[in-house]
Chain A
Amino acid sequence: MNKTLAVLRFELITIFTRKSFLFLAFGMPIITFLIFQVVGAINRNDPNAIDDIIGSSQGVDSDGFVDLGGLITTHTEEIENGMLVPFTDEASASQALDAGEIVGYYLIPENVSESGKLIYIRPDFNPLALEDKAWAIEILVLTNLLGGDIEMAQRVWVPMDLEVTLLAPPKQQRDDSSPITFLIPYITTMIFYMVILGSASLLLNSIAKEKQNRVMEVLMLSISPREMLTGKIIGLGIAGLTQTLIWTSLGYILLKLSGRSMSLPPGLELPVSILVWGLVFFLLGYAIYGSLMAGLGALVPNIKEATQATIVVIFPLIIPMILQSALIEKPFDPPAIILSIFPLTAPVAMMTRLAGGGVPLWQPFLAAGLMLLTALIVIRAVVRLFHAQTILSGQPFKVGRFVKAIVRGV
């Protein structure tokens, strides 16, 4: 027990005095805060200053059009409000373009009624420029294709004014229009992914490093592998938690200092239960991934191979990251439920769903129970793996050997 404590103390001291840890824990939030402050200050002094640097300064947003086939006889609202400017020939449109009166112009060819093809001339050639304004010319051409029937054109363009009746039970209803509904689960996913992965990688590095520089050989003389593993897992877990705590509290303090409050929109509150669940899923997720990483560390000969082999272990954790948008938008569909209960994907996937709200209570309990079981099995297997023979061997890492060793340990 004393030796475990000694390992724990050593790990904590090493981590907390490392420059890179201090920078990550304190530097990152402070720098982010400063950047926001500077941007905010510039914005207050001159609201257009930032726009001038990052946006193109374009005052004009009108487009011209040249009707080559004599189709356009009826003018729509868009011509009256100056969004579209008619020109009799291409030369005059080109002149207006050079003079900066328009940003581009359309050519409406003779056979547009059959081909549906239009040409848009624009000097800066931006294929995305049309995204939010092509509708103006489309509705003009459509109106004239329909013989100038404006009412019919508008009806065809937007065929209905929808009134929506939702029959779903109220607990599954969310305010889809608020960006916060998507932002909070998104941020939760990112934080959980980073924190679990970050502290698990610390464990891997610490073991692989001691193996590489042969300190391990000396350590094995006086301490049992089990004591060392326990000390390291607890120590680095505390380090990971501390980092998260520093981030959250610094973020909160800095926000208070800057005079902004963390006011969430009404109707959406983060209940205390989510903090408790957060702690539970972090601890269990860390126990599973931390021990898997430790097992990896025991098997690789040096840090270089350790980093390459990490992908084998963290792959399940990446899956919910990739399917994140589906998880947030359809949190009650079977794939989302399966991902949030399967122990290897649960720490991230379940937190994403919990942050969105409305998850039946049995699901996080089941997920936590399954994760606890998995964690116990994995830790048992890894402890068995931690005997002197494996730790001291210099064999290169192979996926097959890793899986076999874990399974044998179980």
Chain B
Amino acid sequence: MSTLWLIAKHEYKRHVMRRAYILILLSLPLMLTLMIGLIIATVNMENDDRPLGYVDQSGVLTEAIPAPLDSSLETPVEMIAYPIREDARAALDSGDIQAFYLLPDDYMETKHVELVYVDDIGDDATGQFWDFMRVNLMSNVPQGTVDFVTNGADITIRTPDGSREFSKSQILSLILPLLVGIGLVVLIMTSSGYLVGIVAEEKENRTIEILMTSISPNQLVTGKLLGIIGVVATQVTVWLGFLFGFIYLAANQFGYEWAQNISIESNTILMIVAVMVPAYVMFAALMTAIGSMVSATQEGQQLSGLVSLLLWLPMAFMGIIIESPNSPLVVGLSIFPASAPIVITMRTVFTVVPFWQLALSVTLLTATAGSAVWLAGRALRLGMLRYGQRLSLRELFRKA
């Protein structure tokens, strides 16, 4: 037992006490910040906050009321009235306004409006003028009705038995399973690096020959696996810490609605655990098997790339999964073990996955995971002291 502990501790320290590991820990929050920054930059590039002008000959906007903004993130675009077209044109030419609208005197009969601009108008400016028109067309209508038009109806989607419910403000709870799915795939990929190299490094520098004199292969691998699980657990804890910190900041410091209404049903958590645990075991065992079969670290990495590819493959079908989450192709993908973890979590977001599909998928995943563990143990025993030559698949499956 003490040897096992010793190996686990050594393996854990070997990975965690590296500068690269700190980089990996920080990579997720950094990537998140970078992505949010880039999205804000792109949105800003596409927006234009310069004022809009209008020339109203119909009298609809004589006593103009400003429209409320759709969200707190929007910058208000000022609406400036001009008495005649020439004035507005002069302001446009001098760059004071980005465009102007012209409402002719027969607007109320024809709805005809002319828009004059030089360069593309920002999307938010167009939307704000649209709302501005709507608000002023409803100047003597109750406020509730005006809000209904400018904000759109607040529609809650619910299943007939009431077990699942979704409205716009709960977007985070809805996509949470998907985030967990992607997070776990990333985790499998990062730990696969350690798993493939599980004995390859010891084999490369021949330490394994000495190790074998004092411990059994099973002890070695169990100890190493425990160490690697520790490394991965540390990583998950730190990432979750960042994620909760991020959500906490968004909810309490910036007051975003989507961050405040988070509720996850216990069924969803159960589903995630039921799918993800066998999925992780399956991939970890496969990676270990690869690591034990090959003779050099580099060779193992090339092979493990193929396995990771399998894991990411469902991303190619993302469009179909979102549009028709119950089509035969998608159901097939959510039952096939290699694609199941991602596809099942993605489908949970967009539909109710029938129980039989979930059960079948978990059963198949567990069975595959069991076989993969058996395969890994066998590969390890056969390939442990083999050098220069890769263990072939035929040898691996031949009767012992």
Q: Kindly provide the distance from the CB of B108 to the nearest chain A CB, expressed in whole angstroms.
A: 8
A54 within 8 A of B: yes
Cα distance, A168 to B93, chains bound together (Å): 11
A53 within 8 A of B: yes
Q: Kindly provide the distance from the CB of B357 to the nearest chain A CB, expressed in whole angstroms.
A: 13
B33 within 8 A of A: no
When each residue 329-349 of chain A gets 1 if its CB lies under 8 Å from chain B and 0 otherwise, what string results? Answer: 110010100000000000000
Total number of A residues with any Cβ neighbor in B under 8 Å: 61
**Interfacial residues of chain B within 2-18, with CB under 8 A of chain A in the complex:** none
When each residue 157-169 of chain B gets 1 if its CB lies under 8 Å from chain A and 0 otherwise, what string results? Answer: 1111000101000
Q: A115-B154, A159-B133 are in contact. List 11 more A-B contacts (CB 8 A).
A: A56-B324, A118-B154, A120-B155, A124-B352, A127-B174, A129-B157, A134-B155, A157-B149, A163-B112, A165-B114, A304-B297
Residues A53 and B328 in contact in the complex (CB < 8 Å), given A118-B156, A119-B156, A168-B119: yes
Measured as residues with beta carbon below 8 angstroms from the partner, the interface class of chain B is 35 or more
Contact call B45/A55, Cβ cutoff below 8 A = no
Residues A53 and B46 in contact in the complex (CB < 8 Å), given A118-B155, A120-B157, A126-B351: no
Contacts of B352 in A (CB 8 A): 123-125
Contact call A326/B118, Cβ cutoff below 8 A = no
Residues A55 and B327 in contact in the complex (CB < 8 Å), given A141-B148, A325-B42, A326-B46: yes
Q: Kindly provide the distance from the CB of B205 to the nearest chain A CB, expressed in whole angstroms.
A: 14
Contacts of B159 in A (CB 8 A): 121-123, 125
Contact call B158/A160, Cβ cutoff below 8 A = no
**Interfacial residues of chain A within 77-118, with CB under 8 A of chain B in the complex:** 94, 97, 106, 112-118
25 pairs of residues in contact across A and B, judged by CB atoms under 8 Å: A54-B327, A54-B329, A55-B320, A113-B145, A115-B154, A116-B144, A116-B147, A117-B153, A117-B155, A119-B155, A122-B157, A124-B351, A124-B352, A127-B157, A127-B174, A128-B323, A129-B157, A142-B145, A159-B133, A163-B112, A164-B115, A165-B117, A326-B46, A330-B46, A330-B120
B243 within 8 A of A: no
Q: Which of B135-143, B272-280, B283-291 contacts A (4 or more CB under 8 A)?
A: B135-143
A264 within 8 A of B: no
Contacts of A221 in B (CB 8 A): none
**Interfacial residues of chain B within 49-91, with CB under 8 A of chain A in the complex:** none
Contacts of A94 in B (CB 8 A): 160
Residues A142 and B327 in contact in the complex (CB < 8 Å), given A167-B118, A322-B38: no
B113 within 8 A of A: yes
A371 within 8 A of B: no
Cα distance, A112 to B324, chains bound together (Å): 31
Contact call B156/A130, Cβ cutoff below 8 A = no
Which of B110, B144, B297 lies in contact with A113, CB distance below 8 A?
B144
Write the chain B residue with the least CB distance to A167. Answer: B118
B116 within 8 A of A: yes
Q: Kindly provide the distance from the CB of A336 to the nearest chain B CB, expressed in whole angstroms.
A: 9
Contacts of A113 in B (CB 8 A): 142, 144-145, 148
Q: Which 10 A-B pairs have the closest CB atoms?
A: A160-B113, A159-B133, A56-B324, A145-B145, A165-B116, A114-B144, A116-B148, A161-B111, A113-B144, A55-B324
A162 within 8 A of B: yes
Contact call A53/B329, Cβ cutoff below 8 A = yes
Contact call B153/A163, Cβ cutoff below 8 A = no
B130 within 8 A of A: yes
B363 within 8 A of A: no
When each residue 140-159 of chain A gets 1 if its CB lies under 8 Å from chain B and 0 otherwise, what string results? Answer: 01100110000010011111
B349 within 8 A of A: yes
